[in-house]
Chains A and B, each alone.
Chain A
Amino acid sequence: MYEGISGGFNVLWIQSGGCGGCTMSLLCAEAPYLAATLASADIRMLWHPTLSEETGAEALALFERVLSGEIRLDALCVEGAMLRGPNNTGRFHLLAGTGVPTIQWVRRLAAVAENVVAVGSCAAYGGVTAAGINPTDACGLQYDGRREGGALGADFRSRSGRPVINVAGCPTHPNWITETLMLLAADLLGASDLDAYRRPRFYADHLVHHGCPRNEYYEYKASAEKLSDLGCMMEHLGCVGTQAHADCNTRLWNGEGSCTRGGYACINCTAPEFEEPGHAFLETPKLAGIPVGLPTDMPKAWFVALSSLAKAATPERLRRNATSDHVVTPPAIRDLTRR
């Protein structure tokens, strides 16, 4: 059944306290599609909850062969938060057919894995599953929110010596996953290739602001006032794209999409504790009329000075378009106006 299983890069995928959305997103991989992308790096799914034939006893038999070392596990991918509750028993999620808490299965499998990959912000940090009163005492694989620790503990290192790699996002872009796995398969992901929250820097060294089509509105502080407006969403509608680490507006989603292109705020879903911003997601908290969260690496005094200057200089075109749901005033065509 598993012919040729010793070659290639073997991936086992486990889901726990999450929504399955990172898998659903993964299946949207394009140019090339998922199967061709994985095949290009000889990545094999030993078992995946959505893709594999094996169910029930067949799947458990495979897990046992991995645990015994008979089948090499190059990457354990975990999607969804780890549920420690109730009362540290892990019983809010027993792996079906086993009576054993999934958090225990993950600890066992992580111990034999060459690499461990947290797929999505839930598996990385706890994510939305850990929001509010955190009913299930959810946490990430190696983080509990911003704090190191989590289900595997701060000292955990997989057999390759790497810590858990946090492909954070809610959901993850399909190619954040495939490219991480491909880099691991090629042994090209070193310690310096992860950022402070252990996200692969190939996507986390960018800001969502980069490539946002609303950049001109941002420059002149021409702000959207209500949802469906075209203007910059930072001042009123909760957008933190200038602080959020991800390449959403240069990589794009499902063809030509991104959150800000879809007309709503970036909520920084690649960050630990994004689920508790301390205010309504789609409303910008302000102090004396100034947004509390400033663009990354920008001194406050300069932001205030530049903003007031920019507001004074806002072209009428941007002022009008910013509060409309379609372009009412197009940009002037310079060579015509010169004549």
Chain B
Amino acid sequence: MSAPAAMDEPARLVVGPFNRVEGDLEVRLEIAGGRIEAAFVTAPLFRGFERILEGRDPRDALVIAPRICGICSVSQSHAAALALAGVQGIAPTPNGRTATNLLVATETVADHLTHFHLFFMPDFARAAYADRPWSARAQARFKAAQGSSVRGALATRATLLHVLGLLAGRWPHTLAIQPGGVTRGADARDKMRLAATLSAVRQALQDQLFGVPLERVAALSERGELDALRAGDSDLALFLAIAEDLGLDSLGRAHDRYLSYGAYPGEDGPLYARGTFSPEGPGGVDTAAIAEDHTNARMEGRWRAHHPFEGFTFPDADDEVGYSWCKAPRLAGLPFETGAVARQLVDGQPLIHALVATSGGSVFARVVARLVETARTLIAMEDWVRALEPGAPWCAQGDMPRGGRAAGLTEAARGALGHWLRVENGRIAGYQIIAPTTWNFSPRDAAGVPGPLETALVGAPVRQGETTPVAVQHIVRSFDPCMVCTVH
């Protein structure tokens, strides 16, 4: 540990191990005048999944790629299936598409619940906040691993994941999602069971998390309507009170440029639209303009940024310049933030639009976006269960050609996830992955431009004597980082 804890005002701090994020994270901070002047984000674990995939039968990607991450496993599986479907030139059957949406959405909603209750809120139950009027309530509900809402959310999450048990065998690491659809169909009784599971989850969220019907959360359109929910005794009400007291809407703003690949394909387009959103307004996603910069990654190939079809992953063991195993992905040369806030902004959800328009993509906006999305997605899942059609085909069959290339783009809970697959001589010749937290927690690029988290941390307050500043923890966790995906 290199934190000079004895000094009153340390000029530098290294924060780690950073828990209640998925995977391993270290943050290096430069501090002056009680505020962070610069931040450097390190992903300290490299496993080399892209190299592990090379040379294998392309279909093996469905076994290997999900094991990049135990919390985004289904999303990784979906991206791999989309890339394989692209190479095979097939698309899922309507049933396969709907069932896949259900599987991906189940994981995303479960992850949103895990984030709010297990990862993010326990920081407000810390002794550092003992003097706040809400502290006792926060401790009762959100004390790490013990709070009543933490336990309740774990139970709700376990119930929700029965959708994966029924339709996909288990979670994480299922092989149920295939290029042509899913391996297991549902009959009428399965639909009743799925409906019962989702109904139990709806009830639990309405009782404990929201205090109001899902529809009211999904339809929130302005700040005043959100503030009105402070009246109740829900977890959301407590969060809103804490956020107001601590000014979480003025904490953790990044570049205010957002990316979504679009989520949950349907006959008439995705449930959540694909696109970008920046101060200049909405835009499309030109995937040809995506490139990864290795300047501050401990990777060979620093001479220029690489489009993922031309990308490669050669770790440089002797490198002392790079400070992360994470490459720096850029779209048209710029860093982008991704996640629920990006999805809801790009999709035009009016409340998230209003929050970002007022004070940018803050800690507050990110958390609220996740909660609104939880409500919207659960409602959509109920519709998808009704849309499943017993007797109609679940999985289209395709043939794997000897060569080809395709990208599989989807949305994980944490944001835009892409797999870029090249097949040559019937084997995987190249497999490049850009995960959501690769975008959000990227290091600086060749131009010295910091990644979104590195930018979001600048200006955050550091209290006297803090070795692990609590404001830093709020900002870091507001992204719901997944570090095992980041580097893979």
Contacts and interface: CB of A to CB of B under 8 A. Distances in A.
Interface of A: 15-25, 27-30, 33-35, 45, 47-60, 83, 85-87, 89, 91-99, 128-129, 131-136, 138, 170-171, 226-228, 252-265, 267, 269, 275, 279-283, 325-326
Contacts of B169: 253, 257-264
B173 A21 contact: yes
B51 A50 contact: no
B1 A51 contact: no
B57 interface: yes
Given A20-B22, A21-B71, A228-B183, A97 B16 contact: yes
Nearest to B59: A280
Given A52-B19, A93-B24, A259 B70 contact: no
Given A91-B317, A170-B67, A259-B169, A27 B114 contact: yes
Interface of B: 1-3, 5, 14-20, 22-26, 42, 44-48, 51-57, 59-60, 62-64, 67-71, 73, 114, 118-119, 122-123, 125-126, 143-146, 151, 154-155, 157-158, 161-162, 164-176, 178, 180-185, 187, 197, 315, 317, 325, 390-391, 393-395, 397, 467-468, 473, 484
A265 B164 contact: no
Contacts of A60: 1, 17
A325 B93 CA distance: 13
A57 B70 contact: no
Contacts of A325: 185, 393-395
Contact of B145 (A45, A254, A265): A45
Q: Provide the main secondary structure of the chain B interface.
A: loop
Given A20-B71, A52-B144, A260-B169, 18 more contacts: A15-B23, A19-B68, A21-B73, A25-B171, A50-B118, A83-B45, A87-B317, A89-B317, A96-B17, A132-B55, A257-B168, A262-B169, A263-B182, A264-B175, A281-B62, A282-B175, A283-B59, A325-B395
Contact of B158 (A29, A134, A256): A29
B314 to A, nearest CB: 9
Nearest to B68: A19
Contacts of A253: 165, 169-171
Q: Provide the main secondary structure of the chain A interface.
A: loop
B177 to A, nearest CB: 10
Contacts of A83: 45-47
A128 B51 CA distance: 12
Given A128-B52, A280-B57, A56 B171 contact: no
Contacts of B69: 19-21
B187 A326 contact: yes
Nearest to B397: A226
Given A22-B70, A87-B317, A136-B47, A55 B172 contact: no
A128 B64 contact: yes
Contacts of A260: 169
Given A25-B171, A257-B170, A95 B73 contact: no
A254 B165 CA distance: 5
A279 to B, nearest CB: 8
8 contacts: A34-B154, A54-B19, A55-B468, A56-B467, A96-B26, A97-B14, A260-B169, A262-B184
Which 8 pairs from chain A and chain B are nearest by CB? A262-B169, A21-B70, A97-B16, A96-B16, A254-B165, A135-B48, A263-B183, A257-B165
A91 B318 CA distance: 10
A320 to B, nearest CB: 15
A54 B67 CA distance: 27
A228 B394 contact: yes
Contacts, number: 287
Nearest to A91: B317
Contacts of A98: 1, 16-17
B44 A93 contact: yes
Contacts of B161: 28, 254-255
Nearest to B125: A53
Contacts of B175: 259, 262, 264-265, 267, 281-282
B327 to A, nearest CB: 15
Given A19-B70, A171-B70, A53 B143 contact: yes
Kindly name the residue among B56, B64, B397, B468 whose own CB sees the greatest number of chain A CB atoms within 10 A: B468
Nearest to B72: A19
B45 A33 contact: no
Contacts of A86: 315, 317
Nearest to A27: B154
A265 B59 CA distance: 13
A30 B178 contact: no
A262 B60 contact: no
Contacts of B315: 86, 92, 135
B59 to A, nearest CB: 5
Contacts of A20: 22-23, 69-71, 484
